[in-house]
Amino acid sequence: MIAVSNAEFDWAVQRALDEIPDEFRPYLENIVVEVRPRPDRKLMREQDVPEDILGLYVGVPVENHGPEGGRSLLPDHIYVFRDNLCEMCETFEELIDEIRITVLHEIGHHFGLDEDRLAELGYD
């Protein structure tokens, strides 16, 4: 387990987001990325996820936006769970790598990729 400040963790999340190629950025304008310590009971119940989940995408994947590319008025969300990620890492470098994988994994869900395809790409 590693302990880091909120600022250090947020920096690592932003660093992962900065790696996204420019051609994908227009598709991410309606996404809110939120860091939380852990998922709360309501989120676990509503999304049917375990308490040790590292990240979660909640929204409508790009492929389901319709023929006009229409989006919901409400933003999609990517949640990154700080305590769960810190508990699995021993070093800051390992944490940065796991945050990157988690953020890109959840963005992959936004683009409609399933767990198998994300694993093939190394984002599992």
In order of 11, 19, 26, 103, 109, the CA distances from 64 in angstroms are 31, 25, 16, 21, 12
Is the confidence at residue 65, as pLDDT, over 80?
Answer: no
Domain 6-120 has CATH 3.30.2010.20: yes
Per-domain boundaries in the chain? 6-120
pLDDT score, position 29: 85
Average pLDDT, the chain: 90
Is the confidence at residue 82, as pLDDT, over 70?
Answer: yes
Strands 76-81 and 31-36 turn out to be: parallel
Q: What is the pTM of this model?
A: 0.88
